[in-house]
Structure 1
C-alpha cells in the first residue's frame, strides 16, 4: 500500500532557497545544527563510502575567511566586484557549513558517483534547514574553486573539493518565486 507524506511533498514542491545576503542572525545553534547535519548525512551514498565531510564555520572563522578571500581576490587581480563576492560570502554570513567532497579510493564506486553524493549532501542540508524554518542558501563561486584558498584557509587536501558553502540564518525577506523548468521540454517518456 502506498503511504503518502503530503506535507513533505508539498514542501518539496514549494521549497525556495533564501538568498545568502538576506540571511540574518540568529542562526541555528550547535544542537540544531547537529540535527540538520544528521539529516544531510542520510544521503544516497553508493558503497557507503561517505565521500564528504563538513567544516562548520562561525564567528571569528568567518571574519578570518572574509579577510583572506579579499586578499586572495586582490592577489589574483580579480575585478573588485568579483573579488568582493568571495569576501562577502563569509563577511555577511552568520553560520556557514562547507561541504567538502572527500573522495575515497574504491575499485567499485566511480569518482563521479562520489561527487553526486557530495552534491546530494548539499541539497539535503539545504532542504533540512528550510524544512526546519531557517533560511538557507547553497553557494560556490570563485572562492570555492581556488585551490590555494581552500587548501590554506580550510585545510582541504589536494584530492578534496568544495561541493558547496551552505549559509544558514534567519530569513530576512521572503524571496519571490523564480521561473521553473518546463517539464514538457525536460522529460521524455519511454514505454517500449
Structure 2
C-alpha cells in the first residue's frame, strides 16, 4: 500500500503547535459532505481505511482515554446489516417504504464506518468531553478521506438512536453511535448549500 500520510511521530517527540498550509486552508474553506445518493465505487481498501482511521484518531482526547471504537461495514456485510436493520422495522409494522430504505441504507457507499462513542468511567473525565471527542473523530475521518481523494458523509438517522439497532451492533449500555460515516467516490458534484452566518453568533467577553 502506498501511504498517503506520514507515519506517526515517536512518543514524546516535540511537534510544532502550528503547521501553516495553503492546501489545508483550502480544504477546510471548501469542505463539503457528499450527497449520500451520489457515492459509489471505489472506496478505500481495508488497509487504506486503517490508515484513515489512525489519522482520524488524532483528535483532542482528555487524559488519553481513547473513548471510541469502530464498526466497519464492507462488501456483502453492508447488505447483511441493511437486512437486519430492515427486519427491526418490519416486525414493528413500519411502512414498507421505510423498511425498504432501511434495507438499502448501508449500500449507499462502498465503505461505512460506525463510530461508536465509548466513554471510559475513570471517575474524573466528564462523559460529555469524551462524546465530543467521538464527534471530532467523525469529522476528522471526513477530512482525512477528502484529503485522500474520497468523498464522504456523516449520517446518523434512526438506527443511531434505536435500542434494537444498538443490540444488533452489540453496543454496551454506556455506548452510543456517534455517526455512520459513508466513504466512497462522488459520482456527481454536490451544490453548495446555505451556510450559517457568523453575524449574531459571536460574543466577545468584556468582563462581568
Corresponding position: 1:89 with 2:105: yes
Q: State how 1:43-122 maps to structure 2 within 5 Å.
A: 43-122=59-138
Structure 1 runs of 4+ with >6 Å offset: none
CA 1:2 to 1:73, structure 2 compared with 1: closer, same or farther past 3 Å? closer
Taking structure 1 as the reference length, the TM-score comes to: 0.92
Equivalence for 1:157: 172
Equivalents in 1 of 2:50, 2:59: separation in Å? 15
Residue 162 of structure 2: which of 141, 146, 159 is its match?
A: 146
SS at match of 2:128: helix
Task: Tell whether the 8 Å contact from 1:99 to 1:122 is kept in structure 2 after alignment.
Answer: yes
Partner of 1:180: 195
C-alpha distance in 2 between matches for 1:84 and 1:47:
43
Larger proportion of helix? 1
- The total of aligned residue pairs comes to 191
Instruction: Report the Cα offset of residue 60 of structure 1.
Output: 1.7
Structure 2 counterpart of 1:35, from 33, 45, 51: 51
Q: Is the 8 A contact 2:79 2:104 kept in 1?
A: no
For residue 21 of structure 1, give the secondary structure of its aligned residue in structure 2.
coil
CA distance in 1: counterparts of 2:126 and 2:18, whole angstroms: 33
C-alpha change, 1:191 and 1:132, in structure 2 (3 Å) is farther
CA–CA separation in structure 1 for the residues paired with 2:189 and 2:53? 24
How far does residue 146 in structure 1 lie from its aligned partner after superposition? 1.1
Q: Note if contact 2:61-2:130 (Cα within 8 Å) is conserved in structure 1.
A: yes
How far is 1:75 from its partner?
2.1
Structure 2 gaps, min length 5: 1-16
> Greater RCO between the two (CA within 8 Å, min separation 6)?
1
Cα-Cα RMSD: 1.8
Larger radius of gyration: 2
